[in-house]
Structure 1
Amino acid sequence: MFRVNAGDSMREHRVVNTSVNSELAPRPKSIEDTGIQESLLLDLMLKHLLGGGVLTKSELVMKMGISGGIIQNLLDNAKQLAWVENRQSTPDGQMRYALSHGGDEYAKQASAKSGYRGLVPVPLAQYTDICQKQSSRKNPITLEMLQYGLQALVLPNDLLRKIGPALNSSRPVLIYGPPGTGKSYLCRNLNLTLGDNVLIPYAIAIGNEVIQVYDPQLHHKVESTTSVNALDLVQGHDPRWIECKRPLRITGGELNAEMLEVQFDSHSRTYMAPIQLKANNGILLLDDLGRQKISAKQLFNRWIIPMEERRDFLSLQSGEHFEIPFELILLFSTNLNPNDLVDDAFLRRLGYKIHFDALDEPLYRRIWFQVCEEKGLSCSEEMFQHLLIEFHQRYAKPLIPCYPRDLLGIMADQMSFMELKPEVTKALITEAWSIYFV
């Protein structure tokens, strides 16, 4: 498989309508609407004031993601408790607020219990409901959608007909075959077929504990084309939910058992979500299965229930257990023989096993000349046949999709170094082959 140059249509995503988001996650108008206990909201506001020193109501709105009306209620309550004081207003007339001595002491105590300082979390029940409503399986992928989403890749025709139904299934998918056949490369592009955006919570609340979910390195935020007043109670969706492209989380040999559980940082006193929670409503690819720090058998044992029941069970440092949706497309990719990884019972649970292999000559030729075009190299049919006969056939090397990119890349480096014309020759093929293959 190889990505070719694509037009702007490949980079376009179907955007979830703003009104749909507003119905899915309406902006809370009161403390009760947030679904979060007032004590947690007060603690969070005081911690923001502790970190910010002196803040206006508008600044608190931006830091907490709730309306100015709710912030005002919290400020009024904090004043009654003698935790917050008014300070001199800004030049444009905005009142500023700061902690009193007692509020400062209380905020430090709250920070010692939980270091979380971010947007107000959403309740677990709301997260579960919205996550399930945003499932990619609500809008099944069709052959046309798959062809459009992967139009920039060169793929055998029968492969699309195997992968498409697997993506619509609730079962995990195992992709296996020799190295270089494009398994990981295809998986990294499958989220293009999903196309739409989803709402990701900045954090979720389990009782009074907060787990941060939003990860800017994984969740690619979609910038809104319309301006919404943060103090407005009606317009736009709940700011605690961030509109993002469907996530694609890839993990390989670095995966260990701890990454599958809620992680607590004792230094910052914060909880971080496990990889499957961050990947919900998207794709989770476990690359190079069998080479992780956790064995394939341990991994499957951990995920038997999530894979079959679409729900996962997690726990906090206190020992409190809770349930989350396991609403993602789970892909495994390996170069190893699946029978050497796990027994038949586990393989049966995977549902879909898709084998990747070498290409036929027409597909290999197509990739070869597309790479030539991309790199600005000229190559005659005679040179391509020379490659096939004198090298692939002579040395019994299969037509693996990664070879054109790698071999032509070496040739381009040689041309640049030796100041040669951008033309593939027998000498360059021989040199690249000898460098690439051991």
Structure 2
Amino acid sequence: MSEAALLATAPSPAAIRAAFPDGDIEAIVPPHPTTLRDTGLERPLVLALLAKTIARCGKAHLPVLGGKLRLSMSVLREAIAMMLADQLIDVARRGDSDIDIEYQLTGPGQAFAAAALAECRYVGPAPVTLDALRAVIARDAQRHAAGARFGDAELAAALGDGPGDELIDAAVRAQLGAALYSGRALLLHGAPGSGKTTLARKLGRLLQGVVAIPHAVLIDHQIVQFHDPLVHLAPALPQARQFDERRNDGRWLICQRPVVHVGAELTPDMLECRFDAANGIYHAPPHFQASGGLLIVDDLGRQRGAAADLLNRLVNPLERGLDVLTLQGGHAVTVPFAVTLVFATSCAPQALMDAALLRRIAYKIHVGALDASRYLALLRRQCALLHLPYDEAAAAYLLQRLHAPSGQPMLACMPRELLTRIVDAASFAGAVPRLCAASLEQAWHSLFACCPPPCTAPAAADHILLGEKA
């Protein structure tokens, strides 16, 4: 991820301030460091980052360097003074004040920057220390535990259930609420297409508040890229108010509580810091990036290796609140493990784990087929989303002439699967998509790979399967 992309995804300081009452931001983002020592970073690392940044810019003044390294002016002045004293940089152009002075590398400075780039090509915001990250995650856990309260109405809203139009059974909803309230591991199980993955993702809507995450973290003298703009999304914020950038450490970002989704592609090595040999840095594993949020492990049982091993790998750290990551050379580092953990599987839980492991998965919730009323409610919703007029007679045909004879259960995935096929076929034919018996028959046959009944009399206009011509 380029530095420009990293910076572009960050909410503005003014927008961050707008999200919180005065003073509350200090409970989330650490105060800005005023000295090099306050950063927690050693002098060689900061000077190397500064030299690589100037090398990339050619010439740069303090505001540019501050924007790229996310360090305060006072820290930069201290580091610049060291580089001037070591004759690594000199003044390229003077201005009216020190913030207008442009700096460039000297010959020795260019050699210093080249050596630093050969060791690690990372150029971007300075990392925070692992101790600082531990402290922020611990404070967030306390703050979130104190404020994370929701009831059945909030849970129903998160699941998309409206009054009189509930898709999730009340008993299942109560189990989900208890599981999330407990903070313990949750397993959603049921037939493929029953809506487990969609349900798991919706649970992320209940994660209230925001979190502070670093651009990068220093672990055992190694830079670990932590921020991922696809995972750490800027919060929706009201109208901006003034934010004093001098009060908070710019190496941190405010984001929504992350929801990280992994599936059958998950391998044991993905749960370790991944070394990027080309750039000389590490990338944080998905469960570490999910700190303060939700980790969904989908398709449990389809990963390479035993499902029990994967469950133990994640449930053990969840119970301790700590995980152990291994860097190159086998060096192990303890990091916080602060996530809401949701597994989803189409297998029977007893086939994946023994009784002891089953007990450690605190909540096992079955997600099954819908009854007729909920199925039709979902069909009606999907018609509205696809701008397809709902037809009661067609809906009855779907239940009585397609589902009933075939024995196909009414799974949550089916309405959208059928309707999108109707829309696809109509779009190809240049016709207006229409929910009718004929279009449902065609969609049903393509979905379940079954042969349509032999055609008898093709004469009627109703045999235009896709609807009226546009």
With the length of structure 1 as denominator, give the TM-score of the two structures.
Answer: 0.90
- List per-residue Cα deviations over 1:293-350 (Å, max 9, x = no partner): 3431221332343021111011322443221111001111111111222222222111
Q: Does 1:155 align with 2:163?
A: no
Distance 2:329 2:236 in 1: 37
Partner residue in 2 for 1:9: none
2:40 pairs with one of 35, 52, 61: 35
CA deviation after TM superposition for structure 1 residue 384, in Å: 1.9
Tell me, yes or no, if the aligned pair for 2:137 and 2:291 is still in contact at 8 Å. Answer: yes
CA deviation after TM superposition for structure 1 residue 116, in Å: 2.3
Counterparts of 1:72-111 in structure 2 under 5 Å?
Answer: 72-89=77-94, 94-111=100-117
Q: Given the superposition, is the C-alpha separation of residues 114 and 99 from structure 1 closer, same or farther in structure 2, using an over 3 Å criterion?
A: same
Q: Does 1:367 align with 2:378?
A: yes
Residue 66 of structure 1 aligns to a residue in which SS? coil
CA deviation after TM superposition for structure 1 residue 138, in Å: 3.8
Counterpart of 2:113 in structure 1: which amino acid? Answer: A
Q: Does 1:350 align with 2:361?
A: yes
Partner residue in 1 for 2:182: 169
Residue 188 of structure 1 aligns to a residue in which SS? helix
Which moves more between the two structures, 266-275 or 190-199? 190-199
Partner residue in 1 for 2:464: none
Counterpart of 2:170 in structure 1: which amino acid? Answer: N
Tell me, yes or no, if the aligned pair for 1:167 and 1:329 is still in contact at 8 Å. Answer: yes
CA deviation after TM superposition for structure 1 residue 375, in Å: 2.5
Partner residue in 2 for 1:142: 150
Which moves more between the two structures, 185-194 or 322-331? 185-194
Partner residue in 1 for 2:23: 19
Counterparts of 1:126-275 in structure 2 under 5 Å?
Answer: 126-135=132-141, 136-143=144-151, 144-151=153-160, 154-222=167-235, 225-226=240-241, 228=243, 233-234=246-247, 237-275=248-286
Partner residue in 2 for 1:124: 130
Distance 2:434 2:108 in 1: 77
Count of residue pairs brought into register by the alignment? 421
Structure 2: tracts of 5 or more residues without a match: 1-17, 450-470
Tell me, yes or no, if the aligned pair for 1:284 and 1:328 is still in contact at 8 Å. Answer: yes
Distance 1:322 1:69 in 2: 32
Residue 254 of structure 2 aligns to a residue in which SS? strand
Distance 1:83 1:274 in 2: 36
Distance 2:392 2:35 in 1: 71
Structure 1: tracts of 5 or more residues without a match: 1-13
Residue 328 of structure 2 aligns to a residue in which SS? coil
Distance 1:158 1:223 in 2: 32
Distance 1:150 1:15 in 2: 25
Counterpart of 1:55 in structure 2: which amino acid? Answer: A
Q: Could you say which structure has the greater relative contact order, defined with CA pairs below 8 angstroms and 6 or more residues apart?
A: 1
Counterparts of 1:314-325 in structure 2 under 5 Å?
Answer: 314-325=325-336
Tell me, yes or no, if the aligned pair for 1:22 and 1:238 is still in contact at 8 Å. Answer: no
Residue 305 of structure 1 aligns to a residue in which SS? helix
Tell me, yes or no, if the aligned pair for 1:141 and 1:164 is still in contact at 8 Å. Answer: no
Counterpart of 1:247 in structure 2: which amino acid? Answer: P
Distance 2:257 2:147 in 1: 14
- List per-residue Cα deviations over 1:183-226 (Å, max 9, x = no partner): 00111222212142211111111243221100112111348734
CA deviation after TM superposition for structure 1 residue 30, in Å: 1.7
Q: Does 1:113 align with 2:112?
A: no
CA deviation after TM superposition for structure 1 residue 158, in Å: 2.0
Distance 1:305 1:401 in 2: 33
Tell me, yes or no, if the aligned pair for 2:185 and 2:315 is still in contact at 8 Å. Answer: no
Partner residue in 1 for 2:293: 282
Which moves more between the two structures, 216-225 or 160-169? 216-225
Q: Given the superposition, is the C-alpha separation of residues 145 and 425 from structure 1 closer, same or farther in structure 2, using an over 3 Å criterion?
A: closer
Pairwise CA RMSD: 2.3
Partner residue in 1 for 2:62: 57
Tell me, yes or no, if the aligned pair for 2:318 and 2:338 is still in contact at 8 Å. Answer: no
Tell me, yes or no, if the aligned pair for 2:422 and 2:434 is still in contact at 8 Å. Answer: no
Distance 1:179 1:326 in 2: 30
CA deviation after TM superposition for structure 1 residue 402, in Å: 1.3
Tell me, yes or no, if the aligned pair for 1:148 and 1:193 is still in contact at 8 Å. Answer: no
Tell me, yes or no, if the aligned pair for 2:148 and 2:208 is still in contact at 8 Å. Answer: no
With the length of structure 2 as denominator, give the TM-score of the two structures.
Answer: 0.84
Q: Given the superposition, is the C-alpha separation of residues 428 and 36 from structure 1 closer, same or farther in structure 2, using an over 3 Å criterion?
A: same
Residue 399 of structure 1 aligns to a residue in which SS? coil
Which moves more between the two structures, 410-419 or 245-254? 410-419
Q: Given the superposition, is the C-alpha separation of residues 82 and 291 from structure 1 closer, same or farther in structure 2, using an over 3 Å criterion?
A: same
CA deviation after TM superposition for structure 1 residue 161, in Å: 0.7
Tell me, yes or no, if the aligned pair for 2:32 and 2:249 is still in contact at 8 Å. Answer: yes
